[in-house]
Structure 1
Amino acid sequence: MLMHFLLGKHAGREPMMQAALLKVVNKKYKGHFPEILKRTSEHLELVFGLELKEVKPSGHSYTLSSHLDLTNDGNTTGDGSVSIGSGLPRSGLLIPLLGVIFLSGNQAPEEDVWEFLNILGVYDGRNHSIFGDPRKLITQDLVQEKYLEYRQVPDSNPPRYEFLWGQRAHAETSKMKILEFLAKVHDTVPSAFPYHYAEALRDEEERARVRAASGRSAPP
């Protein structure tokens, strides 16, 4: 309930005051509010890639901001936080999905993706209160927006499908940023995933070479 309340406030760009949050929590659980807020924050981070922050120390108000620089169709606010309103169903699961694909060798079998989504309470064929039709979201909406690729596994019979990063995901984030997000979710550091950390470093080096080459070829 608290997560939905915060997302609604964020979508409407309304202030998130602690007094209002306390009203959402049942009276008999008021004493557990810090733990409830902590778990809500962790869930927002895992599912949406959104970090809950206090506006200022002891300010008793909060804001949600994205870990990554994904443009979310350009719906960003002046403070860098993501305006998730109508864009939420299209981008809410994107960050963790990119993480699953990366950890699966950059191409994740569809059955593995659904197994991960089931852990988050998102099921194929069951409408979700926030994401709507999850199959349409991940196989059509995010594919059309070029954040994901959804393709048949070559020579599979019967046909099987897999997910890859789309062109826009490569342009708007990086493997290192996704790995940093995953590390934070697991309360560790990116180097705790040595194989993927090495791959992310190679990706960063390649991006640096491309930027340098682009700079050299740019007209004066």
Structure 2
Amino acid sequence: MEELSQRNIANCLVQFILNNAASKIPIKASDMAQIANVPSKSLAVPLEHVGEILKKNFGIILQVVPNVSPKRYICISELCGVTPLQLDEKQKREQILLFIILAYIFMIQSPLQEERLEKFLYTLDINVNENHPFFGNVKKLITDTFIKQLYLKREKRHSDVDAETQFIYSWGYRSTVEYTKMDILNATANIMGKSPDFFIDQYKEAQRTENPENVDQ
């Protein structure tokens, strides 16, 4: 009877996760507990089973987001850089914009000031203050959607020189698990007609993140 109950809870959670994964918004552990009608502290065992089902049947890894409270989970594909769910046309366009931003952040090798990001996009004929014919509401994607999805991290930075509060962008947690810096570098280098190792610092960083044990060799 207990085994059947655990199976029912797991099936319920699998359906809930699949229904919510498309938005890419992290799923709260408290919401899963409510759906399964169990205390949050009792989620550990059924979530183990849920993780096995998602991985075996859908190629999806259920992963806890580190260093956040309350606890949240995201769904990622077993294949790095490939979304576990079929993207519609709107989502594909959003991913192109995201790739441009992630590549720029990586290539400049530092967190990116919001003003600098906006100027860079403007050189590509992307005005963040206007509705773009291809990407849609770019401002909302950058300051809201990509942040909630954990693709970008947006942090306030106070300056003694500048009275205005600045916002700084960097890679979010989801980006670090869905993309590799080497893939980003290879694609960027290909667009620019260069070999990846032409960009010395970026190439070293990409190698370091892929093979951390060989960083000093």
1:154, distance to aligned residue in structure 2 (A): 4.2
Query: Whole-Å Cα distance in 1 between the matches of residues 174 and 115 of structure 2?
Result: 24
Match of 1:203 in 2: 209
CA contact (8 A) 2:81 2:180 kept: no
Query: Whole-Å Cα distance in 2 between the matches of residues 157 and 139 of structure 1?
Result: 21
1:175, distance to aligned residue in structure 2 (A): 1.1
Corresponding pairs, count: 135
Q: State, as a whole percentage, how many aligned pairs show the same letter.
A: 27
Alignment TM-score, normalising by the size of structure 1: 0.56
Question: Cα 1:142–1:206, aligned 2, differ >3 Å: closer, same or farther?
Answer: same
Runs of 4+ in structure 1 deviating by more than 6 angstroms, as ranges, are: none
In the alignment, structure 1 residue 170 sits paired with structure 2 residue 176: yes
Q: Which runs of 5+ in 1 are unaligned?
A: 1-67, 76-82, 210-220
In the alignment, structure 1 residue 74 sits paired with structure 2 residue 78: no
Match of 2:75 in 1: none
User: Whose radius of gyration is greater, 1 or 2?
Assistant: 2
SS of structure 1 residue aligned to 2:150:
coil
Query: Whole-Å Cα distance in 2 between the matches of residues 206 and 118 of structure 1?
Result: 36
Query: Whole-Å Cα distance in 1 between the matches of residues 116 and 214 of structure 2?
Result: 32
Code of the aligned partner of 1:200: A
Pick the aligned partner of 2:118 from 114, 117, 123: 114
Residue deviations 1:88-124, cap 9 Å, x none? Answer: 3532211111111112224111122111211221102
Residue deviations 1:117-157, cap 9 Å, x none? Answer: 11221102111112111110111111111111111124463
Give the RMSD, CA atoms, in angstroms.
Answer: 2.3
Between stretches 118-127 and 148-157, larger displacement belongs to: 148-157
1:180-199, aligned counterparts within 5 Å? 180-199=186-205
SS of structure 1 residue aligned to 2:169:
strand
Alignment TM-score, normalising by the size of structure 2: 0.56
Query: Whole-Å Cα distance in 2 between the matches of residues 88 and 177 of structure 1?
Result: 18
CA contact (8 A) 2:80 2:180 kept: no
1:174, distance to aligned residue in structure 2 (A): 1.3
Q: Which runs of 5+ in 2 are unaligned?
A: 1-78
